Amino acid sequence: MSRGSLPPLVHRIICGRKLAELRLAADMSQEEVAEATGWSQSKIVHVEGAGSGVDHHDLEVFLELYKAEEATREECRELASLGKKQAPRRPSVLRNHFKGNMRLVIDMESSAATIWRHNSMVIPGLLQTEDYMRYTFRAYRPSLSTDQIDQYTENRLARQRFLDNDDQQYWFVIHEAALRSLEGIDGGTSVLKGQITRLLDAIDRPNIEVQVAPFRHGYYPGQQETYAIFGFDSNPEVQVTYVEKHDGGDILHDQRRLARFRTSWEHQRVHALGPEQTRPFLREMLRSS
């Protein structure tokens, strides 16, 4: 199983960076480019920040203004074209079973070389058992019908096929609270045991690392946040962060905010039990539950 092709967003990010580099090489500020082209400065910021793709006409204006070499022009044209590429709309395509930013998350889960994920209160969807999925769907949205829960569960299980791709490296840091929240709830013990067993199985896979941050280690930076950092095998390297929220999530790729999440990730990874310590910790939880 091979990784999917890079999402259009990644191509837009690379294209935006290259245009920013060309602008700086031409010794021009964004304000000067806006004045020379008659565009607003916010448009320059938007293109360089991959807020949207750049159309053919505008790209040629940029390249001519910056006096880019032909090889660079061709590279930027290809990136701009790939950045505008539309995903297939067939119902059989997994991403089309989701809405909003989750479609981009599906694209990234299938194509990223590395996926680092921190979860504070809920087990990551890619590692959840079917029983855990159904339990959390009912808990979070009691109004869901049985058919809706069946569909959501089927979609989430389909995402887990990405874990079978040994060409992708997954690293999960999970707070102990995500497991302990099942204790004392009617039917929670059997769900908890199944979920712990699932995590133990995941640890044994060559492309998956799992670490648990136990209560006894205390509070740590970013403990309250649930997010994923996707790293892509591109040139230059691109990382994108997805930050989960109750009503959806945000896609972040500007360097300043990415740096904050990378710093949080390093703190969280060091704070948690190591992969080899996590295994006996989970076994003890399984034995005592």
Q: What is the pLDDT of residue 86?
A: 83
Taking residues 204-222, report their average pLDDT: 95
Q: What is the pLDDT of residue 187?
A: 76
Which CATH architecture is the domain 8-83 placed in? Orthogonal Bundle (1.10)
Q: What is the pLDDT of residue 75?
A: 97
Residue with more model confidence, 185 or 257: 257
Q: What count of Cα atoms within 13 Å lies in the side-chain half-sphere of residue 232?
A: 24
Residue with more model confidence, 225 or 183: 225
Digit-coded pLDDT (tens) for 40-81: 999 999 999 998 889 999 999 999 999 999 999 999 999 999
Cα end-to-end distance, the chain, whole Å: 37
CA 202, chain centre distance (Å): 19
Q: What is the pLDDT of residue 91?
A: 66
Which residues are CB-neighbours of 66 under 8 A, at least 6 positions away? 19, 22, 23, 25, 26, 28
Q: What is the pLDDT of residue 186?
A: 73
Q: What is the pLDDT of residue 52?
A: 82
Taking residues 241-249, report their average pLDDT: 87
Taking residues 173-191, report their average pLDDT: 87
Identify whether 206 is preceded by a cis peptide bond (ω within 30 of 0): no
Q: What is the pLDDT of residue 20?
A: 97
Digit-coded pLDDT (tens) for 128-139: 999 999 999 998
Digit-coded pLDDT (tens) for 118-130: 999 999 999 999 9
Taking residues 87-107, report their average pLDDT: 86
Residue 252, classed as helix, strand or coil, is strand
Is the pLDDT at 184 greater than 80? The verdict is no
Rounded to an integer, what distance in angstroms lies between the CA atom of residue 224 and that of residue 77? 41
Rounded to an integer, what distance in angstroms lies between the CA atom of residue 4 and that of residue 222? 30
| pTM metric for this prediction | 0.94
Average pLDDT along the chain: 94
Residue with more model confidence, 93 or 239: 239
Is the pLDDT at 102 greater than 80? The verdict is yes
Which residues are CB-neighbours of 123 under 8 A, at least 6 positions away? 132, 174, 178, 179, 195, 199
DSSP designation for 208: E
CA 83, chain centre distance (Å): 18
Domain definitions of the chain by residue range: 8-83, 94-288
Digit-coded pLDDT (tens) for 51-61: 888 999 999 99
Taking residues 224-233, report their average pLDDT: 96
Answer yes or no: CATH 3.30.870 is held by domain 94-288.
yes
